[in-house]
Amino acid sequence: MSRSLRGDCCGRPNGNLRRKVPGCFGAIAADNPGSRGRKTVPGGRGGLGREAWEEMITAGIDVGHKYTKVVVWDGERVLARHCRLTGFEQKEAAEAALAAALGDAGVPRERVAAVVATGAGKSEVWFADSRITEVGADARGALCLVPGARTVVDVGAEEGRAIRLDAGGRVVDFAMNEKCAAGTGSFTESMARALGVGVDEMGPLSLKSTRLVPMNAQCAVFAESEVVSLIHARTAREDIARAVNDAMAGRIAAQTRRVGVEKEVVLAGGVARNAGFVKALEEDLELKVVIPEAPEYVTALGAACVARERAGGKGNG
């Protein structure tokens, strides 16, 4: 169903694509770091070698609240991905992320036809040729990976979005929460901290739950106290983790229903990596969601696709 975005993810900031997919285009970069000039890229479609640099290359930068993600795109394949903590210097994070991604791809900066920025810090990307809203980028990225996408749900660190697309892939409606931590990744993070487990353990832990315990608090601050009370009451960590994921899923499902749910539903954003949340969301929405392999890069990929369109390139998968 979904065309995969291969490689490493945001869970590991500064993940290195070269080490992950040595058989791919990354190998070129590994052999000739910083090389210039024409190179034949092995692999690609049908295993045919092709003149990669004749293709138009664009980059999408998604400066999120927590992570900055970059996708380098040739209209057909992701040449490199990079993710790093945004921190407080969004400008520097964007610069460093693009440089790292281009380094991984072995593509010099001047070969990049256009850069489009998106995300909460998009205005800080001074070197971008243009900008696009997160909603627009999300829609574009999801369509690129899942051509039949009609609903896009993106749950990031400090934001949650639900987007409805029509048959032509145009955005019909969207709902967004950026005001409240409930229904964003920071909610799960706070609860993981209260539980004393890593945020990546929340998914596997909750899948082992055997008992339903209710979470009454909506607010992340209050929910943290509630988790502490549950711990005092000797509730199993697995059951608390599930309650947290269920609560999150409930919020996101409600937000998604507000725009209308239609298949295919694509789940993007880092929270899609939490299997417990995904299960709860699927149960709540009563359907299977499609999760791209690198869900946190969907928005950046969308920006790269838009960059290509704006620069007059054809294709986009």
Partner 1 sequence: MAEAAEKEFWRWKEYNWHNPDLDWRSAEIVAAGVDVGSVSSQAVIMADGELYAFASMRTGPDSPASAENAFNWAIAGTGLTLPDVHCTVGTGYGRVNVPFAHKTVTEIACHARGANFIYGPAVKTVLDMGGQDCKAIRCDEKGRVTSFLMNDKCAAGTGRGMEVFADLLGVSIEDAGEMSLRVDSEPEPVSSTCVVFAKTEAIGLLRAGWSRERVLAAYSSAMAHRVVALLERIGVEPEFAVTGGIAKNAGVVRRIEKELGVKAARTSYDTQIAGALGAALFARALAQKGK
Q: Is 187 in the site for partner 1 (CB under 8 A)?
A: yes
Binding residues among 31-90 for partner 1 as defined by CB under 8 A: 65, 88
Shortest reach from residue 138's CB to partner 1, in Å:
20
Give the residue with the Cβ less far from partner 1, 190 or 256. Answer: 190
Q: Is 229 in the site for partner 1 (CB under 8 A)?
A: yes
Q: How far is CA 39 from the centre of its chain?
A: 30
How far CA 123 is from CA of 62, 133, 251, in Å, comes to: 11, 11, 29
Q: How many residues appear in the chain?
A: 317
Q: Is 314 in the site for partner 1 (CB under 8 A)?
A: no
Among positions 109, 193, 222, 315, the unique one binding partner 1 when judged by CB under 8 A: 222
Shortest reach from residue 119's CB to partner 1, in Å:
15
Give the residue with the Cβ less far from partner 1, 163 or 223. Answer: 223
Q: Which stretch binds partner 1 (CB under 8 A): 16-24, 34-42, 226-234, 237-245?
A: 226-234
Q: Is 220 in the site for partner 1 (CB under 8 A)?
A: yes
Query: Concatenated DSSP letters for the chain?
Result: -PPP--S--TTSTT--HHHH-TTSTHHHHHHSTT--S--EEPSSGGG--EEGGGS-EEEEEEE-SSEEEEEEE-SSSEEEEEEEE--S-HHHHHHHHHHHHHHHHT--GGGEEEEEEESTTGGG-TT-SEE--HHHHHHHHHHHH-TT--EEEEE-SS-EEEEEE-TTS-EEEEEEE-S-STTSHHHHHHHHHHHTS-GGGHHHHHHT--S-------SHHHHHHHHHHHHHTT--HHHHHHHHHHHHHHHHHHHHHHH---SSEEEESGGGG-HHHHHHHHHHHTSPPB--SSGGGHHHHHHHHHHHHHTT-----
Q: Is 186 in the site for partner 1 (CB under 8 A)?
A: yes
Taking residues 153 to 172 in sequence order and writing x for each that binds partner 1 by CB under 8 A, - otherwise, the string is -----x--------------
Shortest reach from residue 224's CB to partner 1, in Å:
9
Binding residues among 103-162 for partner 1 as defined by CB under 8 A: 158
Give the residue with the Cβ less far from partner 1, 40 or 123. Answer: 123
Q: Is 225 in the site for partner 1 (CB under 8 A)?
A: yes
Q: Is 212 in the site for partner 1 (CB under 8 A)?
A: no
Q: Is 255 in the site for partner 1 (CB under 8 A)?
A: no
Q: Which stretch binds partner 1 (CB under 8 A): 13-21, 31-39, 92-100, 225-233?
A: 225-233
Among positions 179, 208, 258, 263, the unique one binding partner 1 when judged by CB under 8 A: 179
Among positions 16, 130, 133, 218, the unique one binding partner 1 when judged by CB under 8 A: 218
Are the beta carbons of 242 and 277 closer than 8 angstroms? Answer: no
> Which positions touch partner 1 (CB under 8 A)?
65, 88, 158, 179-181, 186-187, 190, 218-222, 225, 228-229, 232-233
